[in-house]
Structure 1
């Protein structure tokens, strides 16, 4: 009897083990990390940061104040522009009514001051042009180094592919293979570092161009003021004409444009959120001097999350652009969220180190990008996630 029971128990265990294969899910999971598209927030004007009003990780609304740049200089510029507008208006009105001889000496002084301002502006423009040349030279140098590093990476990847084939045939040792894998890793790190340097050099180049543009605008303004001062003096000495009055009207309109520009610059001292989203990173502290073009914050839009996974060539028939897939995360066990495949890489690459085991890293895979369309209120950037794909039979 005991022998019969023992045999029955063995039979049940064998059936259970074989049943596991029958009951396996027909879905295969690929792993990745949820990412968010970063939206840089840069300083459009420079100055001392007097207030930082938002912290990393907080939700922000469109138009919400993130930081404040000291507005005093820009307030003075607005006041100066208002005074210039009042002056231009008064001169225009005076020219229509006729000028007074007592104003001639004041007109001469205005011409001399305008000449001095024009010379200062030209010197600033010359300095700004030199800054552009230096920044452009540095940018081209870094880009050349970056291209060289990318070529080195491609060379090392080809060598790794050859080393992998030799290792599988037993022609080289595992240590030789690992040495080549490390060479690829170092080349990839060099490419990333030079890419970051290129981005920084490009930002400096854009900042230099901004300085040059401001210098050009200042020179044009100073030149216009000098021309206006000479015209005013001519009016005072010779009397107003219809053409002269129209010139003064144009000067008044130019002064109004300068006031509008000054008020816009003052408004830019308030760094605000361009859209609803989450503040991912803050690169500025209170008391720091922000430069034009400097990245102050990085944020992500609240409704933009994506996930990148890597699939072997043999599995490409299981994915297609526009296909909906299931997404699971450890934070919400038992829940499956929905995403849509929006991009499939055209070129194969070696599996990134942070995705698979050392053996798997030597395989060629294709990157698949998935835009998350469901669960945006629960899923967060940085979460590890599994993507469920149908088996080759197409069943889920």
Structure 2
């Protein structure tokens, strides 16, 4: 009788253990509603000039700030070309006439003529000079003034012409300044260096990739939901994102749905959804704040 009871108790224990295992398995299946992989906006920074890379101060995994100078490309020839153009401009401008010195003598003549006019005016009032003498003095002043105006106009035209002659050279200098600026390698965005494609002392050409960077402080999980789930989600909805830390444990993050596709697509082969029989799913992007543990390409699960 005791042996029978023992066997019965063992059978019951076995059934309970099996039930618990099944329940645990079912619990695991219901642990998440969608899954996918983490991604980020990746930017490939390329060279904007051709020449030898003099410095490239970055390494993979390094955090860079927007606007940070990380290297330079040889710019000696561009700098020498700029100096040559600046010398040409100085040579052209040296031909400009000195208007002040060239009309100085005429201005002295004008002062003398004006003093003579004043003297004759006083004499005329005292009946010691004639009206003709005053008219001649006035005419002499007018002649000298016309001469000054004529020379000033002529010399101004010459100066303007020489200034205009330097305009194309100034434009070329501005172009060289732009090219010199592009010889500096400036990091465009805040982010972490993912891949370094080249090293210092290698040759760079315009458009050659130098390194790849992405801002992974906030990372995006691209997951897929079924048609039934699609109707119950909305933009800016808070969800839980689960990431495995080892075989039996996981970390939970709070995420925000920032994009929902309006077109259905066939389930990707690498993605499993809660309803494995679903043929069509909708892609969603979930923004997650990264604590440094999350990485591009890592697998994640979503609990809606």
**Structure 2-normalised TM-score?**
0.67
CA distances 1:257-284 after superposition (whole Å, capped 9, x unpaired)? 4434322321221212123211122333
In structure 2, stretches of 5+ residues that fail to align are 103-152
**How much has 1:9 moved relative to structure 2?**
4.3
Q: 2:42 aligns with which of 38, 44, 59?
A: 38
CA distance in 2, matches of 1:361, 1:11: 34
- Report how many aligned residue pairs link the two structures: 246
Matched position secondary structure for 2:8:
helix
* Larger strand share, 1 or 2: 2
Aligned: 1:363 with 2:284: no
1:315–1:379 CA distance, 2 compared to 1 (3 A): same
Greater Rg by CA: 2
CA distance in 1, matches of 2:11, 2:233: 42
1:259–1:361 CA distance, 2 compared to 1 (3 A): farther
Show the counterpart of 1:24.
27
1:351–1:91 CA distance, 2 compared to 1 (3 A): farther
Q: Is the 8 A contact 1:65 1:271 kept in 2?
A: yes
CA distances 1:93-145 after superposition (whole Å, capped 9, x unpaired)? x464789xxxxxxxxxxxxxxxxxxxxxxxxxxxxxxxxxxxxxxxxxxxxxx
1:251–1:375 CA distance, 2 compared to 1 (3 A): same
1:15–1:80 CA distance, 2 compared to 1 (3 A): same
In structure 1, stretches of 5+ residues that fail to align are 100-238, 390-396
Q: Is the 8 A contact 1:42 1:296 kept in 2?
A: yes
**How much has 1:285 moved relative to structure 2?**
3.9
Q: Is the 8 A contact 1:276 1:302 kept in 2?
A: no
Q: 1:347 aligns with which of 240, 243, 263?
A: 263
1:70–1:331 CA distance, 2 compared to 1 (3 A): farther
250-259 vs 62-71, greater mean Cα deviation: 250-259
* Larger helix share, 1 or 2: 1
**How much has 1:336 moved relative to structure 2?**
0.8
**Structure 1-normalised TM-score?**
0.53
CA distance in 2, matches of 1:371, 1:95: 69
CA distance in 2, matches of 1:334, 1:290: 45
CA distance in 2, matches of 1:273, 1:12: 65
**How much has 1:370 moved relative to structure 2?**
1.3
